[in-house]
Chain A
């Protein structure tokens, strides 16, 4: 049984621990800075980025405000194309449906394409309990699975591991899962990727059932879309006989032509490429090509609760690009595990409390896991105002609080004000985003803003400050 986030310590405890791990901090800093620079240059190439971002936001808002219409439209389009649609109200129901579908094939093994939704519902553990082995095929997911580890980033789940650690995991564990790593394996990324290729090759060619997610589900055509890099997605989507796709109900876009916006926004924001190496789209099973049986599981699991909150609803626009993680000064120092969920970073800080409610200590502390600097909003390709939602959620947490809640939330605030500050966290670097945050939050959250060190509006923008700082200029003060 692989590890789960259940029982993780609350954010301040986990964060304090993570910031004491120099290897982790080094890995994270290297990785987030690399990808951040790539994203900046890919986005900088398009002079209409602001227009694309506005269109992306509006398309998602249209979808969310009429989600019932689009869900029914998607269902009938997929059905008309020869697929079967299942509805899952929560994680247990989704796991039961997928388990039953796999059992019906008589197979005991499945290959998986990286999918946040199946991580969220902990599908692999459910399948294992039913005697079905699920093999992750994305390189980073494979590293996490083999290392009996937890994902710490949306796009690069093993971002906290460096090459030497990955080599060690491959050497130690590949043999018990299948084809072993070569004894003389080096820690060059090329050699590690080659080891993964050899390890998974036979699996791809032989396995009869695949499980995927989807980046987008097109309501008017019933088309699913998966963006990937390695070709493991193409393998899983093409070679098996049965394909089961688990799709959050917010993944819908109304029409095929909307992809012209998202196929520009997502790759550039995510991997910082003009286009990711492979994108697959399919509309039902195709005659003589690819899986003959195709199932879609539409997953709610807290999304309708999120939808019901008029301020928090915008979190459902998220296309999981991870740009907000890569830019976040808190994420860079704490890593993803501190967020106690498969959704870490700024998006996790607003999504998890809404999906799960704020009754648990981890989720209650997350709205405080931010300095409200606003960089996440600036880079978000669908303009989710994360600081706005954080302030809104703080208000909810405080109004619902017992003593335990207070401890957790004030702990997080304390972490930011103490450890965070010691680490040079951008406590006062609010930049242009400053103007969007109320000076005094309404209601009970006022307690937070009242005691907070309220900054003057800085002359330099946060991003500018950050760049200067990265270039060795004086940081610390905006």
Chain B
């Protein structure tokens, strides 16, 4: 297959015969005068955009997080909740649901969970997006994918205004999942339906305002 590598690269070079030999990639100017953000008011914007895409948002005072998680779990009748190994224990201190720490659960064990609680890495206000990077309080990707209800804790200091700020903060070497509302499809007559294969319910607990 090395043959094809050389062949394709050779064809590419032949196809670009019109490009001056001394032109470097950076010589092709890219105008970067687009805005880094379109809002200066991140928290209300985030709440508005999350709700627009059918996520449920709770603004929770610092110190009341455990109670808010417990209340949400009760309302959703979550009997079993999976959490990443490093989720702060105080977050789930008040819930009566059984809390399972992920120590490499099999997919079928994850499939038996009613919900998941995670933190996040960054939230993007103007698109209503939460980004998980498998870092602190987030765990591996499968745990926030298989259970049907995702409770995600977002700290106010994790919220940025626009997409460029988020891209700049995130580490591409971590696997990233950008989440904007619950899973959805518009494949049938372009009619948006929330809830297909990913979690059908996304509840965001916004703290630290």
Contacts and interface: CB of A to CB of B under 8 A. Distances in A.
B75 interface: no
Contacts of A52: 34
B1 A197 contact: no
3 closest A-B pairs by beta carbon, nearest first, are: A231-B198, A308-B15, A260-B164
Given A66-B28, A205-B111, A307-B15, 14 more contacts: A34-B190, A47-B38, A51-B35, A62-B26, A72-B9, A139-B188, A140-B187, A189-B191, A201-B197, A234-B197, A275-B124, A277-B53, A282-B176, A304-B15
7 contacts: A47-B35, A51-B33, A69-B25, A72-B9, A193-B188, A279-B177, A289-B134
B189 A30 contact: yes
B28 A68 contact: no
A407 to B, nearest CB: 31
A13 interface: no
A432 interface: no
Interface string B101-142: 000100110010000000000001011110000100000111
Interface in A132-148: 137-140, 143
B181 A277 contact: yes
A171 interface: no
A34 B172 CA distance: 35
Interface string B131-159: 00010000011100110000000000000
A310 B15 CA distance: 9
Contact of A139 (B11, B181, B185): B185
A257 B129 CA distance: 18
Interface in A187-229: 189-190, 192-194, 196-197, 200-201, 204-205, 218, 221, 223, 229
A68 B16 contact: yes
Nearest to A137: B197
B186 to A, nearest CB: 6
A461 interface: no
SS class of chain B's interface: helix, strand, loop or mixed? Answer: loop
Q: Chain A's interface: helix, strand, loop or mixed, by majority? A: helix
Nearest to A200: B197
Interface in B17-64: 18-19, 23-26, 28-35, 38, 49, 53
Interface in A57-99: 58-59, 61-62, 65-72, 81, 86-89, 93, 97
A244 interface: no
A230 B196 contact: yes
A283 interface: yes
B178 A279 contact: yes
A372 B111 CA distance: 52
A230 B198 contact: yes
B16 A67 contact: yes
B30, B142, B176, B191: which has the most chain A beta carbons within 10 Å? B30
Nearest to A238: B141
Contacts of B163: 260, 263-264, 275
Nearest to A219: B25
B193 interface: yes
A46 interface: yes
B181 to A, nearest CB: 5
Contacts of B184: 229-230, 277
Given A48-B34, A271-B186, A275-B180, A282 B175 contact: yes
Interface residues of B, number: 75
Interface string A299-312: 01000110110100
Interface of A: 27, 30-31, 34-35, 45-48, 51-52, 54-55, 58-59, 61-62, 65-72, 81, 86-89, 93, 97, 137-140, 143, 156, 158-159, 162-163, 166, 189-190, 192-194, 196-197, 200-201, 204-205, 218, 221, 223, 229-232, 234-235, 238-239, 249, 254, 256-257, 259-261, 263-264, 267, 271, 273-283, 286, 288-290, 298, 300, 304-305, 307-308, 310
A68 B9 contact: yes
B38 A46 contact: yes
B19 A66 contact: yes
B187 A278 contact: no
A89 B34 contact: no
B199 A231 contact: yes
A48, A55, A218, A231 pick with most chain B CB within 10 angstroms:
A231
A70 B25 contact: yes
Contacts of B187: 138-140, 143, 156, 158
A156 B190 contact: yes
Given A274-B127, A279-B178, A289-B140, A304 B172 contact: no
B183 A231 contact: yes
B167 interface: yes
A386 B141 CA distance: 40
B32 A55 contact: yes
Contact of A280 (B15, B30, B176, B186): B176
A311 B86 CA distance: 55
A59 B4 contact: no
B190 A283 contact: no
Contacts of A137: 197
A77 B98 CA distance: 43
Contacts of B30: 55, 58-59, 62
A300 B179 contact: no
Given A87-B1, A257-B167, A257-B168, A239 B107 contact: yes
Nearest to B196: A230
Given A231-B199, A256-B167, A300-B11, A278 B142 contact: no
Contacts of A256: 167, 172
Q: Which of B24, B174, B184 has the most CB of A within 10 A?
A: B184
B172 A238 contact: no
B11 A304 contact: yes
Given A162-B189, A300-B8, A278 B108 contact: no
Question: Which one of B9, B29, B164, B166 has the highest number of Cβ atoms from chain A below 10 Å of its Cβ?
Answer: B9
A307 B134 CA distance: 39
A71 B9 contact: yes
Contacts of A283: 172-175
